[in-house]
Amino acid sequence: MPVPPPLPDLILDPIVRLALTEDLGRAGDLTTDATIAPGTEMRATINARKPGILAGMDAAAYALKLVDPSVSLEVAIHDAGKLSPGAAIATLSGPARSILIAERTMLNFLGRLSGIATLTGAFVEKVAGSNATIVCTRKTTPGHRAVEKRAVRCGGGTSHRYGLDDAISIKDNHIAACGSISEALKRAHAYAGHLRMIEIEVDTLAQLEEALPHKPHAVLLDNMDNETLRKAVAMIDGACKAEASGGVNLDTVAGIAETGVDYISVGALTHSASNLDVGLDVA
């Protein structure tokens, strides 16, 4: 999986600006104002304290840029790079007041997003050698979807959908409101343009049998055991992409991959990843 490029400033700006504003509040950094004399210079390093995969350097660098573009940032380990405890990720040199103001926001982005990349990498490693691709879902922190989904890519995974507007994904509640799988797929095909993907969620092989004649581009096989997944993959027989979802964790994902599915969606990548411990130390 290629390393994703940094997100454009236009996307980063509202996310990072909100984080800085949240931290600085109404009066700025009272501690720095009280203790650090103007003109004081500082050199500090951002260090990894746990092993993992780095993500979020684009957001961290943009936070520093917004606080003070005069601070020098020398990046030693780039996003998607492997981290070992004690590894120096980046060095900051410049006004001490600016570095201290930006410190926590930078570390928050790096810790949160590296945690997502690290968890993704663990899932990807579990399915190595299979044809399955690990994908994340829309279960993201509100407002942070762009940076969190990029972190998944840094860990070697990819994305299901970015939002409601980039594919048609018919779930059980859509089917219930519509009346049947067949009717839902007929309406979807009538509505979609030639570039719109259509996926349908099914819970049973009987539902899959109903869906396949309507030629969805992908089928989401929801909460099926591995034996049922194998039968579903055999029924699909390459007619569309097969995606497994539900009950996926680090203990079960390898077995799910062995059933022959094309994609395995894991909500935990973004909703349950632990922060990776990184810190800033004065050099």
Q: Which of 104, 138, 230, 231 is catalytic?
A: 104
Active-site residue, 165 included: no
Q: Which of 82, 171, 196, 215 is catalytic?
A: 171
Q: Which of 139, 187, 230, 231 is catalytic?
A: 139
Residues 175 and 182 sit within 8 Å (Cβ to Cβ)? no
Active-site residue, 149 included: no
Residues 15 and 146 sit within 8 Å (Cβ to Cβ)? yes
The string of DSSP letters for the chain reads -PPPPPPPHHHHHHHHHHHHHHHHTTT--HHHHHH--TT-EEEEEEEESS-EE---HHHHHHHHHHH-TTSEEEESS-TT-EE-TT-EEEEEEEEHHHHHHHHHHHHHHHHHHHHHHHHHHHHHHHTTTSS-EEEE-S---TT-HHHHHHHHHHTT-EES-SSTTS-EEE-HHHHHHHS-HHHHHHHHHHH--TT--EEEEESSHHHHHHHGGG--SEEEEES--HHHHHHHHHHHTTSSEEEEESS--TTTHHHHHTTT-SEEE-THHHHSPPPP-EEEEE-
Q: Which of 29, 148, 201, 262 is catalytic?
A: 201
Active-site residue, 171 included: yes
Active site residues: 104, 139, 171, 201, 222
